[in-house]
Amino acid sequence: MTTTPITPVARDRIERLLAAMRGRRVAIVGDIMLDRYLIGDTDRLSPEAPVPVVSVRSSRSTLGGAANVAANVAALGGAALLAGVLGDDAHGALFRTEMAAKELDDRYLVTVADRPTTTKTRVIARGQQVVRIDEERDLPLESNDVARLAVVVDAILASADALVLEDYNKGTLGPALIRELIAMARRRAIPIVVDPKYHHFFDYAGATVFKPNRRELEAALGAAVDLGREPAAMSRARERLSVDNLLVTLGADGMVLVTMDGQQWRVTSRAREVFDVSGAGDTVTAWAATALAAGGSVREAAFLANYAAGVEVGKAGVATVLPGEVLTAYDEQYDAIGRWRRGGAL
């Protein structure tokens, strides 16, 4: 098997896809997190221990995990339907405040009283992260909470155009719930995009697009994946996972897409400038799912998502990407019918 460069999508087709993506309802289910940042200065060590004393000057909070995928869907013009669990705590209340600030609907969030809201607090001094404090309980949800969440998602899928399963191994998505949600979506002929971590890889059988990174895939398979020497390894991986399409992100090397018809496509990175890779995977997930929801093919979805990721990594921190930014990036590299502009920046 050979790996073929993915065919560029013509500009007018991209415009039609972007128009069709507006208003598409994308259900996002998975681990939601609150990202907090305490920013300050340090000029001395603590007398209590050999650690810096940070004087906090400002703080901010952002949506993380599956909620960042929802924010990306909303930014590109889709309707994000986010379902997951929050604790009955101050961080859960702050999370809902951040949802409201981004005009995201929080009515599909399930509150679990004895479980803390997953929160990652980063202490930053002089532009550098000093320490990260994680507050979480990554044990699987109790069966009654799984049932509550399944009822919510079933209601959402009645009007959804796509389903995203965002698994950060924090306990929201367990094997039984995963299989139930995939069955729900397949009964409704809704495309399913999965962004996995290291656990549950083989529980996502039936997904439309399964999107691990290379390191996650290698860990699950127990072997290195050498695309240069053995490109057929990707096809074998897709078959072992029992998914329709396998989209493997390769960082600066772009992505590889293995489709259900046996073809293998290389998607070259289109980043103009890499400033910060944080959140790029969430951008790919959001754009791919919304493009599929709008009727795009898997190859078109991968092409668009790759451009969106290229824009995202050129921004500081976790960021969202607007449709106009993707069109601008496309115009820098291709003409209207998808021919490479000589001298176009990669």
Query: Contact 270/310 with Cβ under 8 angstroms?
Result: yes
In a domain, 242, yes or no: yes
Q: How far apart are CA 325 and CA 310, in angstroms?
A: 10
Helix H segments across 231-274?
232-241
**Burial readout 217-247 (b: 16 or more C-beta within 10 A, e: otherwise):** bbebbeeebebeeebebbbebbeebebbbbb
- Count structural domains, the chain: 1
User: Using one digit for the tens of pLDDT, what is the confidence trace for 117-143?
Assistant: 999 999 999 888 999 999 999 999 999
Query: What's the pLDDT at 345?
Result: 40
Q: 224 pLDDT exceeds 80?
A: no
- Annotated catalytic residues are 282
In a domain, 158, yes or no: yes
Please count the other Cβ atoms lying within 10 Å of the Cβ belonging to residue 158. 9
Residue 338: burial class (beta carbons within 10 Å; 0-12, 13-18, 19+)? middle
Sheet holding 32-41, edge to edge: 55-65, 32-41, 119-125, 128-135
In a domain, 131, yes or no: no
CATH number at residue 66: 3.40.1190.20
User: Using one digit for the tens of pLDDT, what is the confidence trace for 47-62?
Assistant: 999 999 999 999 999 9
In a domain, 94, yes or no: yes
The percentage of residues in the chain with a pLDDT greater than 70, rounded to a whole number, is 89
Query: What's the pLDDT at 344?
Result: 44
Amino acid at 217: L
SS3 label, residue 272 = coil
Query: What's the pLDDT at 343?
Result: 44
In a domain, 244, yes or no: yes
In a domain, 253, yes or no: yes
Q: Report the interhelical angle of 11-21 vs 298-312 (nearest 10°).
A: 90
Residues in contact with 14: Cβ distance below 8 Å, sequence separation at least 6, in sequence order: 304, 326, 327, 330
The percentage of residues in the chain with a pLDDT greater than 90, rounded to a whole number, is 67
In a domain, 343, yes or no: no
Q: 186 pLDDT exceeds 90?
A: yes
In a domain, 345, yes or no: no
Q: 113 pLDDT exceeds 80?
A: yes
Phi and psi at residue 79, to the nearest 5° = -105, 115
Query: What's the pLDDT at 44?
Result: 92
Residues 154-158, mean pLDDT to the nearest whole number: 97
Query: What's the pLDDT at 18?
Result: 96
Which range of residues forms the domain containing residue 188? 4-31+62-117+144-333
Query: What's the pLDDT at 267?
Result: 83
